[in-house]
Every structure is written in structure tokens, then in C-alpha cells.
């Protein structure tokens, strides 16, 4: 069976999916056409139903739940992994309503966590995630929500963290942060769902076995080319939740659903375990 799959070019996604992309494992007769896009573009492609498998924001999933079910492997959850609200200089949270804030997309978990921390009445502008640091530095915006590699580089560029949005979520909910998930179209039968989930889990195991050096597949797609940054990115975003969502991870997703209150449906969120 052939699948059109969309993932980000970030090191955690390329690390997870390299064995599938490069056919380093038995794909059991399946083939994959990869589309590499930033997370908000992937969110919008899933909203249009243009992908069979998609790495999307958990906050966007409930808008596409009627067409997609979540796999248990391949996602990005964890503790200490959330987006950061940064600026050129520190200011009080009460001043935020008067600031122009760059976000990496309306449908992103980063935007959800910003709203969760500060409420809905904010002055925001969307831009690709890798342009937000520069926009703050050049005073095009007053503050920005940064994700991915940028959380490792912002302080070196003279930016300060106004609020760790992930830490706020963890403090309030006592749950890991649900960032990105792997969604697969519901029109495939359960056997196929389980096969794809197992392929992703196996791809992660192979990645860890071959982790002595970063491959050209990972480095050629990364926005930040320092190997130390790429490794930090992988270590932070690929973890036990990537292999299987687990009980705490699932609780975090259902908590997000409760807060969004947009998913009044009886459809299951995750595929079943074997």
C-alpha cells in the first residue's frame, strides 16, 4: 500500500523516520512518499485531507479527528520540552496584551499553550517557526513563541525568556506536554494502522542503534546545522513517549481535548494496542 506522509524537516522527525525513508527496515510491502513541511503547513494539509499520514500539532488534531486517528508511536510529548515566549528585553506578563506576538501558526500547540497561559485576547501574527527569532531581534514583533531548535539558541542571540509555556502547562496539569502527533487516515483497516505504528516504532529502535553519528539525511534537513544543537533536539523530543504514548501521555491529550472542548465526538482518538 502506498502512503503520502508529511513530516517536518526537524531532527526529531527525520531521526524517527529515517529508517522508513531510507528503507533500512522491511516495510512489509508498503511504500511512502514523503512531504517535508513546517508544522503549520502540515496542519493545514491535514485539514484539507491531503495526507494519508501526517505529523501535526496535537492542538490541531481535534479539528481533523473525523478523518484521522492517532498512532501510538512517533509523536512528540514530554517534560521540559514546551515552547518559549521570548523577547529582546524582559517585561511583565500584564504588558503582553499591548505587544505584537509572533506565533508559528494558528493551529499549533504553541499557540494553544500561549492562549492557555494568557487567555485569548492577544495581538498575534503568524510566521514560519524558523523566522520568529530574527523577527524579534529586528523589532518586527515585540515577542515570539519559539519551538524546535530555537529553544537552544535564543539566549545566544540576546533574547530572554518571558515565560516557559510548557512549564506552565506542566505546573497546572501535572501532565507531560503534548506537542506533535502522528495521525493516519481512518479509512484504513485496523491491520494497516497497527502495521504502520509498528514500522514507526521499529524505525525509532533502528535510529537509536545507529546513533553514533548523525546521518546526512538528518543534517541536510535541519535548520540549525550545529551537531550539538541537533543532538540536543533529538534527545529532548524523542523519548519514551515517542515509542508509545503511554498512560500519562494519553491523559495529557485528553486534558487538551477537555480544554479545547471542540471534539464532541464518540470517535476513538488513538488506535488500539495489540
Contacts of 90 (CB under 8 A, 6+ apart): 160, 162
Q: Are residues 20 and 53 in the same domain?
A: yes
Domain that holds residue 138: 84-173
pLDDT score, position 92:
87
pLDDT score, position 28:
94
Last residue of a domain, one of 173, 208, 229: 173
- CATH, residue 102: 3.40.190.10
Q: Are residues 121 and 240 in the same domain?
A: no
Last residue of a domain, one of 173, 203, 220: 173
- Residue 69 in any domain: the answer is yes
- Residue 274 in any domain: the answer is no
pLDDT score, position 262:
56
Please list the active-site residues. 148
Q: How many domains does the chain have?
A: 2
| Cα 117 to chain centroid, rounded | 19
Last residue of a domain, one of 173, 191, 209: 173
Q: Are residues 208 and 248 in the same domain?
A: yes
The answer to whether the beta carbons of residues 104 and 38 sit under 8 Å apart is: yes
- Residue 268 in any domain: the answer is no
pLDDT score, position 273:
63
| Per-residue pLDDT of the chain in tens (274 residues, 90 and over written 9) | 999 999 999 999 999 999 999 999 999 999 999 999 999 999 999 999 999 999 999 999 999 999 999 999 999 999 988 999 999 999 888 888 899 999 999 999 999 999 999 987 899 999 998 899 999 999 999 999 998 878 888 888 899 999 999 999 999 999 999 999 999 999 999 999 999 999 999 999 999 998 888 999 999 988 767 888 889 989 999 999 999 999 999 999 999 999 987 545 555 676 666 5
Amino acid at each position: 500500500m502506498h502512503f503520502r506522509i508529511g513530516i517536518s524537516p526537524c531532527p526529531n522527525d527525520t531521526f524517527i523516520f529515517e529508517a522508513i525513508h531510507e528503507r533500512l527496515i522491511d516495510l512489509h510491502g508498503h511504500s511512502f512518499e514523503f512531504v517535508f513541511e513546517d508544522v503549520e503547513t502540515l496542519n493545514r494539509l491535514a485539514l484539507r485531507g491531503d495526507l494519508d499520514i501526517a505529523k501535526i500539532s496535537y492542538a490541531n488534531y481535534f479539528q481533523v479527528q473525523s478523518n484521522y486517528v492517532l498512532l501510538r508511536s512517533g509523536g512528540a510529548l514530554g517534560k521540559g520540552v514546551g515552547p518559549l515566549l521570548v523577547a529582546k528585553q524582559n517585561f511583565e506578563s500584564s504588558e503582553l496584551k499591548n505587544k505584537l506576538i509572533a506565533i508559528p501558526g494558528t493551529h499549533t500547540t504553541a499557540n494553544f499553550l500561549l492562549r492557555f497561559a494568557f487567555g485569548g485576547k492577544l495581538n498575534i501574527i503568524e510566521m514560519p517557526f524558523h523566522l520568529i527569532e530574527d523577527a524579534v531581534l529586528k523589532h518586527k514583533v515585540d515577542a515570539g513563541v519559539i519551538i524546535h531548535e530555537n529553544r537552544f539558541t535564543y539566549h545566544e542571540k540576546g533574547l530572554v525568556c518571558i515565560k516557559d509555556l510548557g512549564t506552565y502547562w506542566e505546573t497546572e496539569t501535572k501532565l507531560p506536554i503534548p506537542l506533535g502527533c502522528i495521525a493516519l487516515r481512518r479509512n484504513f483497516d485496523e491491520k494497516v494502522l497497527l502495521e504502520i505504528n509498528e514500522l514507526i516504532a521499529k524505525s525509532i529502535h533502528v535510529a537509536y542503534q545507529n546513533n553514533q553519528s548523525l546521518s546526512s539525511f538528518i543534517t541536510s534537513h535541519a535548520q540549525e546545522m550545529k551537531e550539538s544543537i541537533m543532538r540536543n533536539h533529538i534527545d529532548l523530543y524523542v523519548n519514551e513517549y515517542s515509542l508509545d504514548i503511554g498512560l500519562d501521555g494519553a491523559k495529557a491529550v485528553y486534558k487538551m481535548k477537555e480544554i479545547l472542548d471542540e471534539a464532541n465526538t464518540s470517535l476513538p482518538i488513538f488506535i488500539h494496542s495489540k
